[in-house]
Chains A and B, each alone.
Chain A
Amino acid sequence: MTMPFYVSPEQIMADKAEFARKGIARGKSIVALEYQDGVLLIAENATSLSKVGEIYDRIAFAGVGKFSEFDQLRKLGVRFADTKGYAYSREDVRGHALANAYSQAIGEVFTREMKPLEIEIIVAEVGDDRYQDHRDNTLYRVTFDGFISDHRRYCVIGGNVEDVESILKNDYQDGMSRSEAAKLGRKALDSGAERGSSLTEENLEVCILSRSRPGRKFERLSTDEVSSMLGA
């Protein structure tokens, strides 16, 4: 007769966390940073599979780790936001509610399922100048175990967070222009990667949430736009 081995809950959680961290550490990083007209999201990504996406008028999503898993979360977020905006009003769709829903869902998978999600995500919300109480930008990070944190100025997810963050900590300034923010983002991502040459517009994915745009604030920047921003 075989006896099942006893494994303590602490051990199970530690093993799962270890497994998820390994998966994420292999991936590249994404930086979200506030600039003078909103939030800029910049990802190292040479493929045509997007890591950054639009959720709603003022909300964007970014994910690292296993593509199929974070892309599924992105779609769930779009469904959540569109249903809420349809049932109530567009102004009722807020970043913190979505970030909380993500945190709960990801946390639930972490505790219930054998395999945790090998992902980390950012929910970024740009402020709305029309309402006094909606003016600030907010950046939320949700990790593989459902841990949620909110950030000001910048937020990093992915493989080499410490190196990327140290650059941002030194060089970040309030009120940067869009191209200053993009340049800083690239510099920060460069520091986190192990490679000879530096990042160019060909292997960067850059999206913005721009306050000054009417309606849907999300915009994916074309390679040409990114190139002119980084060159200028």
Chain B
Amino acid sequence: MLLRGKYQGSSFFELLQVDYKHLLPALPADAQPAGAQVPHGTTVLAMKYQGGVLVAGDRLATAGHSVASRDVVKVFATDGNSLMAISGAAGPCIEMARILSVELEHYEKIEGEPLELDGKANKLSQMIRQNLPAAMQGLAVVPLFAGYDLRRKEGRLWKFDITGGRYEEMEFDATGSGGLFARESLKHDWRADLSKEEAVRAAIEALTAAADEDRATGGVDLERKIYPVVKLCSAEGVDEGSEQEIEQAYRNVLERRGRGGASQ
């Protein structure tokens, strides 16, 4: 079985396409739109801060008007220097994040050195383009990709559209159903010299604003102890924000809004 494969290159995604087709989703050309029946993930955001880049997402997945999951994770570390956040159909999105993380590790092992950050973003854009037929059936994958560029020594972030279009953002971005509200909030709070703590707080503020206005976005759920996922990527690698930090940031947000954190 070791010698049966035809594929000779360094990409895991292409390896699956050539030799392991059964591990990739097969979508018949005449498939009916599945849009509302499958769980969708909603608001995710990414922003630069002083030391690198921050990516955050709420935890809610919805199917039509129902809650599909309250604690889905939409932000993934795809390797030691990059993060991906997903919005769109949860199943294909999470799978794409998984394939991308195997892809990056696979390339590094086969070639003996990791891809550049640009190369990683470009590869993701090709994978999204491959998903276009499914996107037309309502199973869109619209991620944010961010990472710390070890050559330029700065955080960078990209957004994508369903055709694989790749757009580098200089400050911040948010996508998903609550993305508009999150962007509005970030427009107000974002500065180039945000410290890590300020960036976490701006992210929680933006997600809270999105959850306020958009019914498909989940805010902080103190009752169930479900917090947004916040991950940071700097020269030191990927750092996961702790629940205490996030809860504290949320209480600060509430306090600023004059509701008082403790009683919530």
Contact = CB atoms under 8 A, between A and B. Distances in A.
Contacts of B20: 83, 87
**Most chain-A Cβ atoms within 10 A of its Cβ — which of B12, B99, B109?**
B109
A55 B2 contact: no
Contact of A87 (B3, B23, B106): B23
A80 B3 CA distance: 10
Given A83-B23, A86-B99, A54 B109 contact: yes
A50 B2 contact: no
B7 interface: yes
Give the secondary structure class of A's interface: helix
A78 B2 contact: no
A67 B180 CA distance: 55
Nearest to A105: B2
Contact of A79 (B15, B23, B99): B15
B1 A101 contact: yes
Given A86-B98, A87-B23, A80 B109 contact: no
A110 to B, nearest CB: 12
B2 to A, nearest CB: 4
B25 interface: no
Given A50-B112, A75-B110, A86-B23, A80 B102 contact: no
A102 to B, nearest CB: 7
B161 interface: no
B154 interface: no
Interface string B1-29: 11101010000100110011001000000
Please name the 9 residue pairs, one residue from A and one from B, whose CB atoms are nearest each other, closest first: A105-B2, A101-B2, A78-B109, A105-B3, A82-B106, A76-B2, A86-B102, A54-B109, A75-B110
Interface of A: 50, 53-55, 75-80, 82-83, 85-87, 101-102, 104-105, 108-109, 216
Interface of B: 1-3, 5, 7, 12, 15-16, 19-20, 23, 98-99, 102, 105-106, 109-110, 112
